[in-house]
Amino acid sequence: MGCFYASSRSHCFFHTRCFIKIFSCYIMMCLFLKISVQHEEELLKKLYSFEGVTTDEAMDLSDSQHPYMDIRSGDLHNTSKVIESKYIDLMEQAEISLNKKQWAIGPILPRKLDYISNRENICLDWLNKQPPRSVLYVSFGTITSFSDRQIKELAMGLEQSKQRFIWVLRDTDRGDIFKGEDRKVELPEGFEERVEGVGLVVREWAPQPEILAHSSTGGFMSHCDWNSLLREYYYGSAYSCLAYAH
């Protein structure tokens, strides 16, 4: 989320929202500004509280943009009317009194995936040996952290499913990033040996776009962040949503 300035014959100032769905923008705007949400009163009752979800640093960044909100020409959203037409229309109605336009210019994704093709990568090498659309890709982003118990239960579920998988278990899954913790994840004893040939655990960076675009990838388990959802829509993998917020 940020602001940028563009100049041609006239001066334009835009507010960009690239990492969040327009549904979330609209709901947060209604909650924070105490605006009545058209047709969504029951939905709001089911939503979790935002209290404690956002860090002080994130709130400071949001507050720093407020002085520019009144002078902006409108908002650019990394979405499309095919995906979120209802909430694009609602945002336009909510902003109409301020004469702020809404543009859906997404999905914004890399079109070429050859920037790592010449580099060796264990994930792609492993995928090349699997049957078409047979692998479940499991990744929960860069800031989500799970407890030891949750990680062990996920490992047990993957093993018992007999499903081929790539599981990206990065540093953010190893501790609480907000407390600065660092711990070594203890998977069930013998887990990686038992799933050898069926599953691959990756503890470092993984080329997610190329994994999702690979012909052997048939599904994607993630925490429903917007970038992951857009990639899933684009590459056409089945999506397993484990909506989770630390």
**DSSP for residue 109:** -
pLDDT for 140 equals 86
CA distance linking residue 14 with residue 60, whole number of Å: 20
Residues 100 and 134 in one domain: no
CA distance linking residue 193 with residue 190, whole number of Å: 5
Per-residue pLDDT band for 108 (boundaries 50, 70, 90) equals confident
Question: Does residue 12 belong to any structural domain of this protein?
Answer: yes
pLDDT for 51 equals 66
φ/ψ of 16, rounded to 5, equals -100, 140
Residues 133 and 66 in one domain: no
| Residue that is last in its domain, among 53, 75, 104 | 104
The neighbour count for residue 203, using CB atoms within 10 Å, is 14
Question: Does residue 165 belong to any structural domain of this protein?
Answer: yes
pLDDT for 192 equals 94
Residues 90 and 160 in one domain: no
Q: What is the largest CA-CA distance in the chain?
A: 66
**CA R_g for the chain:** 21
User: pTM higher than 0.75, yes or no?
Assistant: no
In tens, the pLDDT along 120-173 reads 689 999 999 999 999 999 998 776 778 888 889 999 999 999 999 999 987 555
Per-residue pLDDT band for 246 (boundaries 50, 70, 90) equals very low
Question: Does residue 41 belong to any structural domain of this protein?
Answer: yes
Question: Does residue 76 belong to any structural domain of this protein?
Answer: yes
- DSSP strand pairing (11-17 vs 135-138): unpaired
More confident residue, 83 or 201: 201
pLDDT for 38 equals 58
Beta strand ranges found along 105-163 (DSSP E): 135-138
Average pLDDT over the chain reads: 76
Domain that holds residue 100: 2-104
Answer whether residue 24 shows pLDDT above 60.
Answer: yes
Residues 138 and 233 in one domain: yes
More confident residue, 176 or 23: 23
In tens, the pLDDT along 27-57 reads 777 666 656 655 556 666 666 666 666 677 7
Domain total of the chain? 2
Contact (CB, 8 A) for 150 and 181:
no
CA distance linking residue 204 with residue 142, whole number of Å: 11
